[in-house]
């Protein structure tokens, strides 16, 4: 008991003396030349395994049902010429002549899938009403079984939403050349 009391007295007496409120705390500084500008930053693949994300992925394996997982490949999807500038591709390169570009990660990631996950596809006959106002992704709701059939037939590129690393939403990515007149 005496030691505790003695320690409290010592800390009470030394605390204010040891802390000089007027002293400046040294700050680590980064030279301005080491900070990349926004135009020099290359886009990166989203780590869909952690946290809450909204990102573009390619569905590699999907099976409808409860207590299931999904296998995805993160991709970078950008409109041109932004993609070409970000990856320092000459604007006269053929790849830059397309309205968008995709960079595949080749990583296969297995995620748990929420039993109440949502699914949306673009109906080719009603593509205008089945695409969001920004022409990015599908908004027409479908069942997991319908989504599974669609994913098995084609590219399977979607906007995927995760919550704490669990897949909660899948919306078909809009590709203009597939639907526009």
For 10-30, what is each residue's pLDDT tens digit? 333 334 443 344 434 333 333
- For the chain, domain boundaries: 46-74+111-179
**By percentage, how much of the chain surpasses pLDDT 90?**
62
Per-residue model confidence (pLDDT) at position 154: 78
For 57, list phi and psi in degrees, rounded to 5. Answer: -140, 160
Lowest-pLDDT range, 36-40, 111-115, 159-163? 36-40
Mean of pLDDT over the chain: 80
Q: pLDDT value at position 34?
A: 45
Are residues 48 and 72 in contact, defined by beta-carbon separation less than 8 angstroms?
Answer: yes
DSSP string, 57-69: EEEEEE--SSS-E
In the predicted structure, residue 164 carries a pLDDT above the cut 50 = yes
Q: What is the pLDDT of residue 14?
A: 37
pLDDT tens-digit readout, 124-151: 888 889 998 887 899 999 999 999 999 9
Q: Per residue in 90-100, pLDDT tens?
A: 999 999 999 88
State how far the alpha carbon of 96 is from the alpha carbons of 70, 80, 93, in Å: 32, 6, 6
Q: What is the Cα–Cα distance from 72 to 44, expressed in whole angstroms?
A: 16
CA distance 171 to 166: 15
pTM score, whole prediction: 0.74
């Amino acid at each position: 008991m005496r030691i505790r009391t003695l320690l409290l007295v010592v800390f009470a007496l030394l605390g204010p003396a040891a802390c000089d409120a007027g002293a400046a705390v040294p700050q680590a500084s980064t030279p301005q030349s080491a900070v990349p500008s926004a135009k020099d930053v290359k886009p990166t693949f989203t780590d869909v395994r952690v946290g809450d994300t909204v990102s573009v992925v390619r569905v590699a394996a999907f099976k409808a049902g409860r207590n299931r997982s999904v296998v995805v490949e993160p991709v970078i999807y950008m409109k041109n010429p932004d993609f070409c500038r970000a990856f320092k591709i000459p604007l006269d390169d053929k790849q830059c002549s397309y309205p968008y570009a995709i960079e595949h990660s080749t990583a296969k990631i297995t995620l748990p899938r929420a039993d109440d996950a949502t699914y949306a596809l673009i109906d080719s006959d009603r593509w205008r009403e089945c695409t969001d106002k920004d022409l990015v992704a599908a908004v027409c709701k479908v069942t997991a079984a319908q989504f599974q059939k669609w994913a098995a037939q084609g590219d399977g590129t979607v906007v995927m939403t995760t919550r704490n690393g669990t897949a909660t939403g899948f919306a078909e990515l809009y590709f203009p050349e597939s639907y526009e007149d």
